[in-house]
Structure formats: structure tokens, C-alpha cells
A = this chain, B = another copy of it.
Amino acid sequence: MSNRTKSTPQAREPSETPRRAADRIRDTAFDLFYREGIRAIGVEEIVNRAGVTKPSLYRAFESKDELIAQYLRDYDRRFRDNFAAQGAGHPDDPKAQLLAYVDYLAARASTDGYRGCGLTNAVIEYPDPAHPAHQVGVESKEALRERLRELCRGMGAPDAEELADGLLLLIEGSYVSGQAFGARSPARVLGAMARRLIEASLATR
């Protein structure tokens, strides 16, 4: 076990194609799993498209399941970053932060070829709660639920938990409807519905 770090990490251009085999596999798996579905993609296809070989995959990942879990952890990280980035323009304004993401999602989920949320899709593809893909997906959704609750509390909602769950339903509905309806997706009304629900909920006493 030598975890020796090179003192001169040079010639490391992130945009370059070759890179490390493990990274190429990770990126390729991310793209294929998300686009085509996890169960639809075999390890053979991943290594072929990544331009590497199967032993390289199994040197970097214990199994396909572990690669799947890694894909979903990557997806979760990107999701959180993006969620935060959308609201970054509205510090100290929870409602504006949430609406920024909601408007972003409404546009994105109403484009042809949209594939929804990789984490939601994984939970559906692996209904067994014991499967790592299911677990990572559920954990991410629980974190999203909690984040929405924080935002709703910040808005001063009388019942923040209830409003957060309502918004979560709208968001998850946008993920899946976008896949079924493409550019004419019901997700196009997500922004208007979220606003209406928020206003009505803030008005309750």
C-alpha cells in the first residue's frame, strides 16, 4: 500500500482525452448509465466506449454494483452543486433560491431527450431496498427533502414540512414527466404551480 503522491503533478490537462483509465471509465459510465439506463448497459460496453479494457475497470472498481454506486454518488454531488448554483444569485432569499432552481428545472425538463433525475431513475430500476443503487438514491432524496424543508422554513411557511413535500412532489413529477412528454412536458408549468402552491401555503394560518 503506497499512497505516495508525486510532487510534480504536471502535464495534467483536464480536457485531454486519454487521462487515467479509472477516470475515463467513471465519465463514460456516468454518461451511459444516465442516458440509457443502468441495467441496459453492460461493463463490456463501458470499457469499449471508454477505450480501455475490462481488467482496468475491475482494478478501479470492485464490481459493477460499486461502479453504479460511484456513478450515483457523482450524480448526487453534481446535483447538489447545481441546485446551489441556481440559487446563488439570491443570498438570504430562500424563496428566490428555490424558484430559481424550479425555473431552471422547468426549462430543462421540457426539452426533447430529457432523461430525468439519475437518482430517481436508479431507485426505480433497483426497487430492492438492499441494493446499493437504491440506497444511494434514497439517501439523496432524503437530503433533498431536508433541503427543501430548510428553504420552506426560511420562507416562513406555517407548515414547512408540508409545503416542502408538496414542492418535492412537483419536482419529482417534473423529472419523470419530462421523459414521457419531451418538449410538451407538463413540467413547463412547474414554475407557475410552485409559485401558486407557495403563495397559497404562506397564506394558510
Q: In the complex, which residues of chain B have a beta carbon less than 8 angstroms from the beta carbon of A170?
A: 166, 169-170, 173
Say which residue of B123, B168, B181, B189 sits within 8 Å of A166 (CB atoms): B189
Say which residue of B176, B187, B196 sits within 8 Å of A124 (CB atoms): B176
Q: In the complex, which residues of chain B have a beta carbon less than 8 angstroms from the beta carbon of A201?
A: 196
Q: How far is the CA of A152 from the CA of B58 in the complex (A)?
A: 54
With both chains docked as a complex, state the minimum distance between the C-beta of A137 and any C-beta of chain B, in angstroms: 7
Say which residue of B115, B127, B164 sits within 8 Å of A36 (CB atoms): B127
Instruction: Check B176 against A172 for contact (C-beta < 8 Å).
Output: yes
Say which residue of B40, B115, B123, B192 sits within 8 Å of A176 (CB atoms): B123
Instruction: Check B169 against A193 for contact (C-beta < 8 Å).
Output: yes
With both chains docked as a complex, state the minimum distance between the C-beta of A111 and any C-beta of chain B, in angstroms: 14
Q: In the complex, which residues of chain B have a beta carbon less than 8 angstroms from the beta carbon of A180?
A: 120, 123, 137-138, 141
Q: How far is the CA of A200 from the CA of B39 in the complex (A)?
A: 42
Q: In the complex, which residues of chain B have a beta carbon less than 8 angstroms from the beta carbon of A186?
A: 145, 164-166, 168-169
* Given A125-B125, A127-B35, A192-B162, A173-B179 contact (CB < 8 Å): no
- For the complex of A and B, 3 pairs with smallest distance between CB atoms: A169-B173, A165-B186, A173-B173
- 24 A–B pairs (Cβ distance < 8 Å), ordered by A: A37-B39, A37-B124, A37-B126, A37-B127, A39-B40, A116-B124, A120-B180, A121-B124, A123-B176, A124-B125, A124-B176, A125-B125, A138-B180, A142-B181, A145-B186, A166-B193, A168-B177, A169-B177, A172-B172, A172-B176, A173-B173, A196-B200, A196-B201, A200-B200
